[in-house]
């Protein structure tokens, strides 16, 4: 039998059949994040919803109090003065027809997309490209707005979008392994609270069924959802 590597020897053993308290789970995930890069700490939530129905869709944005630790590239669809405002606020890419052309060619060098209301007709040309990637600007998420400077600043400061997938699961990052346990817990609480408050009218019975935490390269650690307020 091959000997365990030094990295494997240092890892905290995770019992796959056990659920852990939030703080203990975060501690395990942090200690096991030993890659040569700063791993992202991720949360996975299984919700008792069927997003195929409009009254069971869960989607929104939340500004994590301690940021994400990730550099987010922001593209803004705007013209003239609004384009200047976006650039001044730190937008990485600003454009209109030229940006549409790039996206049409499959060139997408950004993580979030913001637009002024007057640009939505133009963006419709690439809706089939942006939509499946979760990049389509949406007024409900604050990404279609005349106040592009504030929107860019919010995204850069640590705003996270969450959206339930077909299987009823939400995946999101809550920070980096280098974050303190207290900062990760603050971000965890903020995101979970937002998802709980976003419970749709069509959700019946127990809402938050399962939850786990993991790092980019690490194994998942199950969280005891019974200890979370509003999870039922």
| CATH of residue 97 | 3.40.50.790
**10: pLDDT confidence band, cut at 50, 70 and 90?**
low
The domain of 199 spans 18-68+159-227
Q: Could you give the count of Cα atoms lying within 13 Å of 110 in the half-sphere of its Cβ?
A: 24
Q: Are residues 148 and 193 in the same domain?
A: no
In a domain, 4, yes or no: no
The Cα-based distances of 49 to 58, 60, 133, 206, 208 in angstroms read 8, 15, 21, 10, 9
**Domain end residue (candidates: 156, 179, 202):** 156
Q: What is the pLDDT of residue 140?
A: 87
Q: Are residues 145 and 189 in the same domain?
A: no
Q: Could you give the count of Cα atoms lying within 13 Å of 83 in the half-sphere of its Cβ?
A: 13
In a domain, 32, yes or no: yes
In a domain, 171, yes or no: yes
Tell me the pLDDT tens digit for each residue of 156-202. Answer: 988 888 999 989 999 999 999 999 999 999 999 999 999 999 999 99
Q: Are residues 152 and 164 in the same domain?
A: no
Q: Are residues 142 and 200 in the same domain?
A: no
In a domain, 7, yes or no: no
Q: Are residues 29 and 56 in the same domain?
A: yes
Q: Are residues 61 and 170 in the same domain?
A: yes
The residue among 214, 222, 195 whose CA lies nearest residue 48 is 195
In a domain, 195, yes or no: yes
User: Which residue, chain included where needed, has tokens 């939400």?
Assistant: 170
- State phi, psi for 160 to the nearest 5 degrees: -120, 135
In a domain, 11, yes or no: no
Kindly state the tokens that stand for 89. 């606020």
Q: Are residues 96 and 169 in the same domain?
A: no
Question: pTM to 2 decimals?
Answer: 0.81
Tell me the pLDDT tens digit for each residue of 99-113. Answer: 999 999 999 999 999
Q: Are residues 182 and 80 in the same domain?
A: no
In a domain, 113, yes or no: yes
Task: Report how far Cα 100 is from the mean position of its chain's Cα atoms.
Answer: 25
User: What is the C-alpha separation between 131 and 121, in angstroms, rounded?
Assistant: 15
Q: Please give the tally of structural domains in the chain.
A: 2
Handedness of CA 56, 173, 63, 25 (dihedral sign): positive
| CATH of residue 185 | 3.30.190.20
Is residue 86 exposed (0-12), middle (13-18) or buried (19+ Cβ within 10 Å)? Answer: buried
Share of the chain above pLDDT 70, in %: 94
In a domain, 138, yes or no: yes
């Amino acid at each position: 039998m091959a000997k365990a590597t030094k990295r494997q020897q240092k890892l905290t053993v995770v019992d796959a059949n056990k659920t852990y308290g939030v703080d203990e789970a975060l501690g395990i995930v942090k200690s096991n994040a030993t890659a040569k890069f700063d791993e992202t700490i991720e949360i996975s939530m299984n919700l008792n919803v069927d997003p195929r129905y409009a009254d069971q869709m869960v989607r929104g944005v939340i500004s994590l109090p301690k940021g994400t630790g990730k550099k987010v590239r922001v593209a803004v669809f705007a013209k003239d003065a609004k384009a200047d405002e976006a650039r001044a606020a730190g937008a990485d890419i600003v454009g209109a027809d030229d940006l549409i052309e790039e996206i049409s060619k499959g060139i997408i060098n950004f993580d979030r997309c913001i637009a002024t209301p007057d640009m939505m007709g133009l963006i419709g040309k690439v809706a089939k490209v942006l939509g499946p990637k979760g990049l389509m600007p949406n007024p409900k998420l604050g990404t279609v707005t005349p106040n592009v400077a504030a929107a860019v600043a919010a995204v850069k400061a640590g705003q996270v979008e969450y959206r339930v997938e077909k299987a009823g699961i939400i995946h999101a990052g809550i920070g980096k392994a280098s974050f303190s346990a207290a900062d990760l817990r603050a971000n965890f609480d903020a995101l979970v609270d937002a998802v709980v408050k976003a419970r749709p009218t069509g959700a019946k019975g127990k809402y938050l069924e399962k939850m786990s935490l993991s790092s980019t390269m690490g194994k998942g650690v199950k969280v005891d959802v019974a200890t979370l307020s509003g999870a039922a």
